[in-house]
Structure 1
Amino acid sequence: MLDSKSPSTESNILACDVGLKRIGLAQYTQGIVLPLPAILRKNRNQASQDLRAILAQKHIDTLVVGLPSGGQANHQDTITRIKHFVGLVAFGGEIVYVNEDYTSQEALENLNYLGRQSRALAQKDGRLDSLSACYILERYLQSL
């Protein structure tokens, strides 16, 4: 039985791992977490419009955004940048921030079976970022 905080299988949740070059995406739908193609960032306006379009197209209820824990002083700039970007998206649903520490490392470790060139391509085309978004989404789901 689901408690009131648990997402139902009808919930549509999107997680994003916001970076300077790519925005990794993962969706929770029908009870499963799926990576989506990453948004390749040309500028923040284009990226926020692309994200807004995906949120509308997929009928997303909740946007989960990865943030560094802020344990180091240099993370504050990143936190500020990510929150500013999310503000540009103009999403009317619920926005939840989740600790993203080490999700990129976890994602990279899960690609160890790939050869060096394939891992490099996964980093470049955004697959690694979307896998990281899957971990962010799983952390959110586990916290419920």
Structure 2
Amino acid sequence: MSLAATPPVAVGLQTFLAFDFGLKRTGVASGNRLTRTATPQATVAAAGDAKFDAIDRRIQEWQPDALVVGVPFHPDGASHDNTARALRFARQLRGRFGLPVFEVDERYSTTEALSLQGFQGPKGRQGRGSPADADAASACIILEQFLRSLP
């Protein structure tokens, strides 16, 4: 399964909140079309309705024009359980908040975020940040990838 190119509906949208969905933690980043950069926000460490309550507070605070969700795939492009979970999360965001939601292939974003944060690997997290920081950094990578794809 591959994600379609950014739809033309993104034209005119200026501000975005991005999410690196996880079962335990969801990384969050904010960014805009003008600078094409993303800023990490506090990671949401909640599940179920509590997760959506925290996201609602972020949406109220940032007033984004649209949302971006990272969708993980295997290196060969094949989908897996977390692919379906992230796509479901994107559908839930659309339904709950009525904002456009863009899906971005996020293969390797967490690995890249861990690398940028100075982590030694999944078991040896002796780097500068915490796992939650890695989730927010992943959301930044996802959002910046999306912003670079815009005309």
TM range (shorter): 0.7 to 0.9
1:7–1:103 Cα change, 3 Å: farther
> Partners in 2 of 1:49 and 1:88 — Cα distance?
13
* Alignment partner, residue 129 of structure 1: 135
Confirm or deny: 8 A CA contact 1:25 1:133 kept in the other structure.
Answer: yes
Against the structure 1 CA distance between its residues 39 and 113, is the aligned structure 2 distance closer, same or farther, given a 3 Å change threshold? closer
Q: Does 1:83 align with 2:87?
A: yes
Equivalent residue of 1:79, what SS? helix
* Contact 2:114 2:134 (C-alpha < 8 Å) held by counterparts: yes
Q: 1:40 aligns with which of 26, 32, 45?
A: 45
Identity %: 29
Residue 63 (structure 2) pairs with residue 59 (structure 1): yes
- Per-residue CA distance 1:79-124 (angstroms, 9 max, x = gap): 222232333341212100001000001011111279x66538611x
CA–CA separation in structure 2 for the residues paired with 1:65 and 1:5: 14
Deviation at 1:72, TM superposition (A): 3.1
1:12 aligns with 15
Other structure's SS at 2:127 match: helix
The 3 A distance-change label for structure 1 pair 7 and 34 is farther
The answer to whether the Cα contact below 8 Å between 1:48 and 1:85 also exists between their aligned partners in 2 is no
Within-5 A mapping of 1:65-104:
65-69=69-73, 71-73=77-79, 75=80, 77-89=81-93, 90-104=96-110
Q: Please say if 1:21 is aligned against 2:29.
A: no
Distance 1:92 1:56 in 2: 13
Dislocated runs of 4+, deviation >6 Å = none
**TM-score of the superposed pair, with normalisation by structure 1:** 0.79
Query: How many residue pairs are counted as aligned between the two chains?
Result: 133
> What do you get for the CA RMSD once the two structures are aligned?
2.6
8 Å Cα contact 1:63/1:94 also seen in 2: yes
TM-score by length of 2: 0.76
Contact in 2 for aligned 1:68/1:99 (Cα 8 Å): yes
Deviation at 1:15, TM superposition (A): 0.7
Aligned equivalents of 1:113, 1:104: Cα separation in 2: 11
